């Protein structure tokens, strides 16, 4: 996917951070949503010359851990090491949770194409090999939205 496609993918995945922040304040939900949008292209802009494309910045397990830590920080269940951050830790947690969700949406957008992406380490790469990168972005967004709906169903059962 290209940058615009990843942004659309983050919009399709946005119900997930909103569902995670449903028990917090509306400010936390808004910040998680904005974090999701900004995180949607992060795996690409975090790379530099020593980190090749689709290696360390595209590891799914790292972004799931960032999301989980941000969630626990947002709801106040995580110990904060830096004393100066304790007053704003829930706000930072909401942003971090949304950012991690945006990176997960980026991974979901990349897993459908022919270039493999890592799951747990840079060496265990996986792809669904459906089409070339940058093609069929609408189908990819439908896939991302479907995954988001399934996750929201697990996070917020009726």
pLDDT tens, position by position, 110-158 = 999 988 999 998 888 898 988 887 788 999 999 999 999 999 999 988 7
Lowest average pLDDT, out of 21-25, 53-57, 91-95, goes to 53-57
CA angle 133–139–140, rounded 5-degree value: 55
pLDDT (0 to 100) of residue 24: 93
pLDDT (0 to 100) of residue 108: 96
Which carries the bigger pLDDT value, residue 44 or residue 19? Answer: 19
pLDDT (0 to 100) of residue 87: 77
| pLDDT surpasses 80 at 83 | no
CA angle 65–70–74, rounded 5-degree value: 150
pLDDT (0 to 100) of residue 78: 77
Name every residue whose Cβ is closer than 8 Å to that of residue 60 and which is 6 or more positions away in sequence: 104, 107, 117, 118, 119, 120
Distance CA(71)–CA(93), nearest Å, equals 6
pLDDT (0 to 100) of residue 49: 78
Side-chain-side CA neighbours of residue 94 (13 Å): 20
**pLDDT tens digits, one per residue of 27-81:** 999 999 999 999 999 998 888 778 888 889 999 999 999 999 999 999 988 777 7
């Amino acid at each position: 996917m290209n940058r615009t496609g990843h942004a659309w993918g983050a919009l399709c995945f946005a119900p997930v951070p909103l569902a995670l922040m449903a028990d917090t304040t509306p400010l936390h939900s808004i910040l998680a949503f904005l974090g999701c949008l900004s995180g949607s292209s992060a795996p690409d802009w975090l790379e530099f010359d020593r980190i090749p494309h689709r290696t360390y910045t595209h590891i799914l397990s790292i972004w799931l851990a960032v999301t989980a830590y941000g969630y626990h920080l947002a709801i106040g269940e995580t110990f904060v090491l830096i004393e100066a951050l304790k007053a704003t830790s829930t706000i930072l947690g909401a942003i971090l949770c949304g950012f991690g969700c945006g990176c997960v949406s980026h991974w979901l957008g990349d897993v459908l194409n022919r270039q493999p992406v890592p799951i747990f380490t840079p060496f265990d790469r996986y792809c669904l090999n459906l089409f070339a990168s940058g093609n069929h972005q609408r189908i990819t967004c439908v896939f991302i939205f479907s995954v988001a709906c399934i996750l929201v169903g697990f996070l917020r059962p009726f």
